[in-house]
Amino acid sequence: MAEPFLIGEAMTGGYGGADILHSCTIAVEKGEIAVIVGPNGAGKSTAMKAVFGMLRLREGRVRLAGEDITALSPQDRVAKGMGFVPQTHNIFGSMTVEENLEMGAFIRRDDFADTMTQVYDLFPILKQKRHQPAGELSGGQRQQVAVGRALMTQPSVLMLDEPTAGVSPIVMDELFDRIIEVARSGISILMVEQNARQALDIADKGYVLVQGANRFTDTGRALLADPEVRRSFLGG
């Protein structure tokens, strides 16, 4: 089988103390949506940080489009086409929406006006509020700013850590629709989600992590249908 577009393979490591990840493997195919779910503290954010290069791995590799990028810094990974929206502190609250998007384009030396137009097409409310400090926006709108900021580098893979945290079910559905739209444009999506059921419903591939290790891996559909996954991780 061909290699996935992005893969963190058999990742083992932590923050300097005991290992948090134990031979954890996470991957996403081109233009597909992969979702990581699991209990609090399972290491979902840590796995994302490892794939993005914010964690030194003791073992394992990260490859993007067949290239080994394990040794690259996060900034170098951005230059290679990775975009990352962390779980917290993912926007600059005192800066305007538009300034946040401009910051997102930090590595670009070319004209990014077209990309900004695309972000505003995807999230029209952001265009309306472009001169407002991002910190004044609603939770769902701030998440749109965070996603939009990451899109400004025109990534080939977008990594989202709990993009729907703290938003209402309606706003969550809306955000998921936009994320599907991004995936359809050919951008791979690797995301962590607390709203496991809804996220697996839109996932091509799903990963259930427990204590830093892969517990279940399958298509989103198959995980949703698995009685054990349902009982243990989806509330029945």
Ligand X SMILES: Nc1ncnc2c1ncn2[C@@H]1O[C@H](COP(=O)(O)OP(=O)(O)OP(=O)(O)O)[C@@H](O)[C@H]1O
Q: In 3-state terms, what secondary structure has residue 227? A: helix
Determine whether 35 is exposed, middle or buried from the number of CB atoms within 10 Å of its CB (0-12, 13-18, 19+): buried
Which residue from 1, 40, 88, 89 is in contact with ligand X, where contact means CB under 6 A? 40
41 binds ligand X per the rule CB under 6 A:
yes
Q: Is 16 left (phi over 0), alpha (psi -120 to 50) or beta?
A: left
Site map 73..112 versus ligand X, x via CB under 6 A? --------------x-------------------------
The per-residue DSSP string of 151-180 comes to HTT--SEEEEESTTTT--HHHHHHHHHHHH
Mark the segment that binds ligand X (CB under 6 A) among 4-12, 43-51, 144-152, 166-174.
43-51
Residues that bind Mg ion (CB under 5 A): 44-45, 87
Rounded to a whole number of angstroms, the minimum distance from the CB of residue 26 to ligand X is 12
Q: Considering the complex, what minimum distance in angstroms separates the CB of residue 17 from ligand X?
A: 7
List residues bridging with 13 in a β-sheet.
21, 57
Q: Which stretch binds ligand X (CB under 6 A): 35-43, 72-80, 91-99, 223-231?
A: 35-43
End-to-end CA distance of the chain: 34
Kindly list the residues in this chain that would bind ligand X in the complex (CB under 6 A). 15, 20, 38, 40-46, 87
